[in-house]
Structure 1
């Protein structure tokens, strides 16, 4: 487990990397929430590494404030997170993710296959990795704003798994319906709906953490990754 620098066309940015004991192994791009590459994201990388993946989580806020690591525990941190998200350039973020994916595939510890998994803001970006990159598969947990991007769905030609919470305070019911209407019949898209759950139900220690729903979603994710990255 280490922090590294990823070279990109606009400059280098940091990323956290966790590697499994046995390599080469499939690669997994872990995409941050609005709180930066914090302990939650680092723990997720460690957990995926323990499952046999080379996991890398790049700092996507580096142009705004490098190396942000905040939590969801105080109002001040929430306000900072919302400010960063409001100023974040999604298109640049996708390009940084594509750069990181290329870097990941070039690592000696990584085999030929590599996918992505993202949470919250990262869920939206995982969807965009499905529409704009050659990642081998992608997983989106409660992605925000995907309803405004369903027009890109025709570009999806690799498996995409989506986890949607019916009571997501950041994804209104009409937005959820737009996503279902436009994506659930797509041949490469699988959507699981979690009744009664709120946003970030899989964030361990979070306000809306639901152990049962999280366990189910995480099992589905691991089964999906095992199917498409081995």
Structure 2
């Protein structure tokens, strides 16, 4: 399944985005804004966008690193893992968080405005850097009375610094973390769980721990991938979307 380009109007000019649409659609479909890892819109993230479109969602991925000078779409896997990770971290450090958050919210608006999309059923999904960004964008969107219909965060790397804002997100949410995450210690993961579930009182928020999985376990790079966790998380993600974004028959 191939993507088309979709300009995303923002207060700083149009931002390029990639759009995937389900092949068979007779009526408006649910939408998902997908927010990238530190590596940009890599082949992996684009494949996940196509996977989500195959489930029946219109998927919009804003090219956040297009703001950089020079613009960057995505960086490919590297054999030198430390250098690869360092390059990704350097790219995110050059993009102001507030700018990325505003662009994520603008992408929600652009997807809602698309004629193929049911504007009442548009969610956010993010991986790693994008997982934290999705939570922050959801919090801001709720404050503006335009919350997403659902939120999925894969090991949101910025969540330790976003606990207060994450605690204000009340939309149906699914959070994935690995128990062997070297980037986010287990104690911090439990602090995140406490914040996003409001101490376990929010039934609409699910928090899944994947045994033995490290950070970025869904990424297929051999240094990161955990096959069992990736498969389990994807099943849970597909089921969650079926419950939250797709109409019940």
For Structure 1 versus Structure 2, the TM-score category normalised by the shorter chain is over 0.9
Cα distance between partner residues in 2 of 1:59 and 1:205: 21
**C-alpha root-mean-square deviation of aligned residues, in Å?**
1.6
Equivalent of 1:201, from 217, 228, 233?
A: 217
Give the structure 2 partner of residue 98 of structure 1. 105
Give the structure 1 partner of residue 180 of structure 2. 167
Equivalent of 1:135, from 135, 139, 148?
A: 148
In the TM superposition, residue 145 of structure 1 has moved relative to its aligned partner by 2.3
Cα distance between partner residues in 2 of 1:104 and 1:200: 26
Residues 120 and 186 of structure 1: is their aligned pair in 2 closer, same or farther, counting only changes over 3 Å? farther
Q: Normalising to structure 2: TM-score of the pair?
A: 0.86
- Equivalent residues of 2:104, 2:134 under 8 A apart: no
Residues 19 and 105 of structure 1: is their aligned pair in 2 closer, same or farther, counting only changes over 3 Å? same
- Equivalent residues of 1:129, 1:138 under 8 A apart: no
Cα distance between partner residues in 2 of 1:67 and 1:84: 9
Residues 6 and 206 of structure 1: is their aligned pair in 2 closer, same or farther, counting only changes over 3 Å? farther
In the TM superposition, residue 170 of structure 1 has moved relative to its aligned partner by 1.5
- Equivalent residues of 1:28, 1:117 under 8 A apart: yes
In structure 1, stretches of 5+ residues that fail to align are none
Is the deviation greater in 211-220 or in 71-80? 71-80
Is the deviation greater in 47-56 or in 146-155? 146-155
Give the structure 2 partner of residue 114 of structure 1. 122
In the TM superposition, residue 167 of structure 1 has moved relative to its aligned partner by 1.3
Give the structure 1 partner of residue 54 of structure 2. 50
Q: What do residues 125-173 of structure 1 show as CA deviations (whole Å, max 9, x unaligned)?
A: 1222332221111100011121221111342121111001111121123
Question: How many residues end up aligned between the 2 structures?
Answer: 230
Q: What do residues 16-72 of structure 1 show as CA deviations (whole Å, max 9, x unaligned)?
A: 111101332110111100011121111111111111110111011222242421123
Give the structure 2 partner of residue 80 of structure 1. 87
Query: Within the alignment, does 1:124 sit opposite 2:153 as a pair?
Result: no
